[in-house]
Amino acid sequence: MNLLSTALTLLPWTGFRAIFSALKGLRRLRGKSMQTLACREGLQWSLDLGQTIDLWIYLTGAFQRPSVDALLRLIRPGDVVLDIGANIGSHTLFIARAVGPAGQVHAFEPTPFAFQKLQRNLELNPLLSATTQAHQIELVAPGTPAPTSEIHSSWPLDPTSKVHPNHGGALMATTGARISTLDAFCSSHALPRVNVIKIDVDGHECNVLRGAQHLLQTQRPAIVLELCPCVFAAAPPHRFEDFIEMLVDLDYRLLDETHFQPLALDAARLRALIPPADGINAIAIPAEFPLAQLSKERL
Per residue in 28-62, pLDDT tens? 999 999 999 999 999 999 999 999 999 999 999 99
For the chain, give every residue range classified as CATH 3.40.50.150: 64-298
Mean pLDDT over the full length of the chain: 92
Residue 16 has a pLDDT of 81
Using pLDDT thresholds of 50, 70 and 90, give the confidence band for residue 76: very high
Residue 298 has a pLDDT of: 53
Strands (E) across 20-103 are located at: 35-40, 43-48, 80-84
Which is higher by pLDDT, 174 or 19? Answer: 174
Mean pLDDT, residues 179-183: 98
Residue 128 pLDDT greater than 60, yes or no: yes
For position 151, what pLDDT does the model report?
95
Residues 149-161 as b/e (b if ≥16 CB within 10 A, e otherwise) read eebbbbbbbeeee
Comparing CA positions, the residue from 85, 97, 159, 151 lying closest to residue 122 is 97
- The pTM for the full model equals 0.94
Whether 185 shows a pLDDT value over 80: the answer reads yes
pLDDT, mean of residues 176-182: 98
User: Cβ(131)–Cβ(97) under 8 Å?
Assistant: no
Q: Is the pLDDT of residue 296 over 60?
A: no
pLDDT at 289 over 60: yes
All residues at 6 or more sequence positions from 190 whose CB lies less than 8 Å from its CB, including other chains:
none
The answer to whether the beta carbons of residues 232 and 240 sit under 8 Å apart is: yes
CATH of domain 64-298: 3.40.50.150
Question: How far is Cα 189 from Cα 241, in angstroms, rounded to an integer?
Answer: 32
Residue 127 in this model has a pLDDT that exceeds 60: yes
Least confident of 155-164, 232-241, 283-292: 155-164
Helices 92-99, 65-74: axis angle to 10 degrees equals: 20
CB neighbours of 258 closer than 8 A, spacing ≥ 6? 66, 69, 70
Mean pLDDT of 148-162: 90
C-alpha to C-alpha distance for 124 and 297, rounded to whole angstroms: 29
Side-chain-side CA neighbours of residue 259 (13 Å): 3
The Cα-based distances of 95 to 24, 67, 128, 177 in angstroms read 30, 11, 9, 23
| pLDDT of 276 | 83
For the chain, the distance separating the N- and C-terminal CA atoms, rounded to the nearest angstrom, is: 12
User: Quick one: pLDDT band at residue 159, thresholds 50, 70, 90?
Assistant: confident
Helix (H, G, I), strand (E, B) or coil at 179: strand
94 pLDDT higher than 90? yes
The pLDDT of residue 38 is: 98
Please say if the pLDDT value at position 176 is more than 60: yes
Check residue 154 and give its pLDDT: 95
| pLDDT given at position 5 | 62
Say how far apart CA 224 and CA 283 lie, in whole Å: 5
Confidence (pLDDT) at 161 = 78
Q: How many angstroms separate the CA atoms of 210 and 130, rounded? A: 30
Strand-pair partners of 69: none
